Structure 1
Amino acid sequence: LMRCLIIGGAIRCPIESSGCAATCSYRNADESDLSVQYTALNYLETVSVRKQEKCIKKVVEMAATGKKFDVLLSLDGGGIRGVILVQILLYIEAALKKPLISYVTWLAGTSTGGFLAAGLAKGMSLRDCQKIYLRMKDCLFEGRIRPYQSDAFEQLIKANIGETSKITDIVSPKLIITTVLAEKHPVQLHMFRNYTLPGDDNQCCTQCSYIPDIPLWKVLRCSSAAPTYFDSVDNKFVDGGLIANNPALDLLSEFERYKSCQEFSECNEEASVGCLLSIGTGRIPDMPIESLNLGFINVIDMVSAFKNLGYMVMDQVTAAEGRPVDRARSWCHCMGVPFFRFSTPMSKDYALDTKSDQDLIQMMWETLEYVVNERNEIAKLVELLNTLHSNSRCFT
């Protein structure tokens, strides 16, 4: 209880107080002892921190000269764990004292991240999005048999996003929603977007699409058609999380593609990435794998091994943490771009379709603990965004 009060902002007794319970006064416990526990930085992490500081300093100095910069926001997939995305963004927005979306010029989302991205791009507040998530679980995940009713999902999207709204109705920010085109082998990542590439009148890129007439609700349905959870769309589009559950690298790639097209067209715009903010839907705790041997001597062990291998394959296919984050950070730092990644370390592997109020509350509380512990890093992000935002020339 004391730990909850302190993390929630309660003021502890001054050091001169006497008779306080353990953890109450500053004399008995340091605040860091009550935060989520993290390991000390190793050498490579220390190097990464120094590189990040160097990138921030460089961007701030260049922005002061009037150079144009874009702010990129990437939102992971993760089903109902999208409440974690909202909780993290709420804390950042409270520190900014302005809507975060007003700072963002490029926005990408996968599955639940795509739903949130579209909502923010259409002007919905984070609190409105949070209310939708809290209602969503009871509307979508009815019964114990999967796949769930796709019609109910579509009606929910239409009710909140609009039935006639199109992705191209959104002028700013530049919006990317990922899905997987699975009508032929090998499957391909497909990106719906609300803009055209400079100089590309034919829009011949097969991995992206600018389709003026496609409804936004259908785009979001394509991005969220998770196999075994919901039916595919038009028998060809499935959940974008199968390839880009963390769309940060794909967002960077698309930005660079756009920039390259600018160089070979008559477009006079010129911009660079001033910051990439990547938000995750939580890091699951490490769990032991009991068996991987596929010998035929013990049938029970063999079945267990096949099951574990299946989990491993699916885990890596939909990976959003670990190496995908490392690659995005390394690419950003090579470009001299500050990279911020926030994703809550969870106490357990919450199901993507959990309906438990207790689980949702626990996810939100663990996220609050996490962002409070990360407040110094968030303060650096806020300072950078405000520095860029103070000069209107920094945004395209």
Structure 2
Amino acid sequence: MGEVFAGRYELVDPIGRGGVGAVWRAWDQRRRRYVAAKVLQQSDAHTLLRFVREQALRIDHPHVLAPMSWAADDDKVLFTMDVVSGGSLAHLIGDYGPLPPRFVCVLLDQLLSGLTAVHAEGVVHRDIKPANILLEATGTGRPHLRLSDFGIAMRKGEPRLTDTNYVMGTPGYFAPEQMLGEEPDFPADLFAVGLVTLYLITGRKPDAEALVRRFTEHGTPNAPEDVPEPLWQVIANLLQPDPYARFRTATGARKALAAAVELLPEPAPDEEPIEVFDQLGPLPPGFGPNGPCPGRDPAPDADEEPPPAAPAEPDPESGAEPGTESRPAPRSEPEPAALAPPQPAYPPTRPYTAPQPLPRPVPPPPGTPAGGAVPAPPPGRPKRPGPPPKVAVPVLVFALLCLAVGIWALTVS
């Protein structure tokens, strides 16, 4: 807790675990908000390529939980998403068991709405299951669903990262054509949606293989107990073993669901309300709703050594020596004036000596031969020091030339 990743994301506490990495609640120091950060180890090329695919998705839809940003630090990478605190559909079934039909229809409509946006981007999710469908903490209000975890999603036409005979996904939610090794397509996602819907309304994980055998050998079976017939017609179409007899698009399934909802009976007056509450729990010490608490020590950066302290310089006003801490003097009772020695306002650290300017050269008196000694000025008349003269370069060259000619003339004579 408290590790800063890539100088921006402070990992606060773990809130979940995916297939290839842990999910943390993190504080985004740039955007000043909490985010969910999935941290992965770059263990192999396949994992890294799947990370690249997943973080590249930018689907802006209220019922899709797609990555927002990403960062890398040494052997780890992460990408961030919105924090969704209401748990998953698996948590909801664990708390309440079978859900009321109209409540299931609301969830199914939102799931199909999000899936429509995903398919519009040419993406096949390939891992639709209750654990990957999250809920906002809305209490007893209208539920709000978010489709998440695009770790094995792929765009149609992209090369597969596994052998064609290897099926990717969660066992129990495979479409029949997936088991035969066909290329992933949108109807395979819709088959998984049908299994999830049956799970919500019965409270039990359906046996996909047994359902496929029943549909294949006996046609569409009758509606299970407690499943209204109009809703069963939609679910049965989603579960057709033949992908060409199934809904071809999520939009078509939504239209059929809207017609079925009109035929459902009204809910019973004593029906228990379904509450979606916060599953994450409180923030750890040192963090509040608006981020890290004031006065808290800043968290260290991941894999970063603290910088060495710069050598201190003496303070000319305080008189402190290098390496000492300057503190205000403790308050105490003042000493009597007779005993307290006078203190200067600013005690000097060392004697100050002003730089002395060079003396101005005195021109020789008339008649002094070239190269002769210049007589010293008479005593008692000190010359005022001044700045050295500013001599132009051509004048200096001319003076040196004259001096050289004078020396040569004396030598010849």
Which TM class, normalised by the smaller chain length?
under 0.3
Give the TM-score normalised by the residue count of structure 2.
Answer: 0.24
Give the TM-score normalised by the residue count of structure 1.
Answer: 0.24
Of structures 1 and 2, the one with the larger relative CO (CA 8 A, separation 6+) is 1
Greater percentage in helix: 1
